[in-house]
Structures are given as C-alpha cells and as structure tokens.
Structure 1
Amino acid sequence: MVQAKIPEKAYTISELASHFNISPRTIRFYEEKGLISPQRTSGNQRFYTRKDRARLRLILRGKRFGFSLDDIAGMIGMSDTDINEIEQIRKSLAYGEKKLAEIHRRGEDLALLEQDMIAIREKLLNRLAQLENKDR
C-alpha cells in the first residue's frame, strides 16, 4: 500500500460510487481483482486519481458489453503493470473481434430459432383449425 498525500483532484470511494451509480463494494471488488489500485492516505483512507476513474469507466463499459473481468484485465492491463497504448489497442481489437464473432454466431442461432418457432406456430394453427372445423 502506498501512502500518499491526496492530490488536488482526487475522488473518494463514495464519490466514484455515486458518479457511476455503483456500490463502494463493487469498487473494492475491482480493487481486490487488481483492476484498480487506489492510493491511501496516512489514515489508510482510499483515494482515486483521474487515472483510476478512467480505468473504472473502462471496466464498467467492458462489463456492460459482456466482457468478463479477465477479458477486461487483458484489454486494459492490471493496475500494477504498465501497458503501452499500442499493446492495449491491439489487445482491445482482438477481444472486440472475438466478441463480434460471438455476436454473429448468436444472431445466426436466433435466426434459426425464429424459423423453428414460426414453423411450430404454423403447425399449431393448422391443427387448431382442423380441430375446430371437425367440431362443426
């Protein structure tokens, strides 16, 4: 743990949680996973820099798009390692391509499911019409 003086523009865990509409526990969870690493005051209070805030935004965006925390860590790097921008972009593109292929496969599966459901509906409607006509 690095103890430091709080910079002029720093955020508390409550401020970040409120800004992103998440719980402080969520932020602590991402810290436990090594995705963000706040600094601490001599009183052991966490504070977050603009870099931490930006990382948190990327983590939440990745989660919203369906990436796992491992995927996100691969794209943005762990908080305790420096990843150069070129490497980060390449990793993000690779994960993005993987996600696009997955979306494409799901789309194909949904189209097949739709066709099956339409066929079943037609059979059921035809059978219902047969039964109703038989009773007349």
Structure 2
Amino acid sequence: MMNEYKIGEIADLLAITVRTIRYYEEEGLLRPSRTAGGTRLYTERHLSRLRSILHLAKNGFSLESIHLIASLRETCKTGDESSNKVSAQLETEINEITAKARELERLKDELAQAKWVINKCRGCKNKPTSNGCPDCPVKLHTGNIELLNLIWDQHS
C-alpha cells in the first residue's frame, strides 16, 4: 500500500503552508487525488515533486519557468522530441543561472569593496555626514563603488 498524506501532513513535512500547496495545485503543478468527500490525498511522488518545485522557487526560478519544466515533457509525442525540447529548456535555464552567477559575483566583489571602505571609518569620532566628515572615505569612494551611494549621506 502506498503512503498517502493529507494536505496538512504535507505542509508539516515540508514546513510550508497549506496555502502554498494549494497555490501550486491551482497553478497545475500538483494534481492530488481526492476522496469521495473531497479531501486531497498526496503520495510520495507528490511530495518529491513539491520538493523540486520548492527548491526551484527558493532559488529564484519564476513560476513560468517551473511550469514549463514540469509540463514540457507531457506535450511531446516521442521520447526524442521530449529529449530535445526538455534539453533545450534546461540549457536555457543553465545559461540564465550562469549569467546570474556572474552578476552575483560582481555584486559580491562590490560588497567586499564597500565593506573595506566602511571599515576605514572604525574609530572615527566624526558624525558620518558630509558636514560632519567632509573627507570621509565612504564619500570619497562613492564614484567608484556604486553601493556606497546607498550608504552615504542621502542629504548631501
């Protein structure tokens, strides 16, 4: 006999809300069976599928991308067609992740540079404003470290 779970049990197992599960069901990503009384029943397969959905969502995949990945195979007539279409979609996702990783690496470098400049203010007794510290290292580096424009005195 296959294990079956009610929606609340699935929510508890995955530490998510019942509403989240219903949302993915409404979006067509989950199709639980139902009892005669309408109670949703989920299997281990649903649990695994939901874990995959949550993993992708947590890592920034759009609902549209998740839906496409989840449904593309069933739109195909042959394994060959499926292989080609799914592989192409996964390649698109890989390329997007690669571009995002480069972007995040640049942001990480900028954060490190901003931290380095901010640390130069340790021990400073001046007020951290244009008037209070006209030669502040943060102010001096706002032209070459974009993030410092967010940190520096917005009224200057």
TM-score by length of 1: 0.69
For 1:64 and 1:34, the matched residues in 2 are separated by 19
Alpha-carbon offset, residue 24 of structure 1? 0.9
- Corresponding residue for residue 95 of structure 1: 93
SS at 1:82 equivalent: helix
For 1:126 and 1:69, the matched residues in 2 are separated by 40
For 1:74 and 1:49, the matched residues in 2 are separated by 22
Give the residue type in structure 1 aligned to 2:52. L
1:90–1:51 CA distance, 2 compared to 1 (3 A) = farther
- Corresponding residue for residue 74 of structure 2: 82
The equivalences for 1:2-81 within 5 A come to 8-77=2-71
For 1:89 and 1:65, the matched residues in 2 are separated by 20
Alpha-carbon offset, residue 97 of structure 1? 2.3
1:118–1:11 CA distance, 2 compared to 1 (3 A) = same
Alpha-carbon offset, residue 116 of structure 1? 6.1
Q: Which runs of 5+ in 1 are unaligned?
A: 1-6, 128-136
SS at 2:2 equivalent: coil
Segment drifting more, 82-91 vs 38-47? 82-91
1:35–1:124 CA distance, 2 compared to 1 (3 A) = same
For 1:107 and 1:126, the matched residues in 2 are separated by 22
- Cα RMSD for the two superposed structures: 3.0
For 1:125 and 1:16, the matched residues in 2 are separated by 53
1:21–1:121 CA distance, 2 compared to 1 (3 A) = closer
Percent of aligned positions that are identical: 29
How many corresponding residue pairs? 119
Give the residue type in structure 1 aligned to 2:20. T
For 2:97 and 2:138, the matched residues in 1 are separated by 40
For 2:104 and 2:25, the matched residues in 1 are separated by 32
- Corresponding residue for residue 104 of structure 1: 102
- Specify which structure has the bigger relative contact order, considering alpha-carbon pairs within 8 angstroms and separated by 6 or more residues: 1
* Aligned partner (choices 136, 139, 145) of residue 124 of structure 1: 136
Q: Which runs of 5+ in 2 are unaligned?
A: 121-134, 140-156
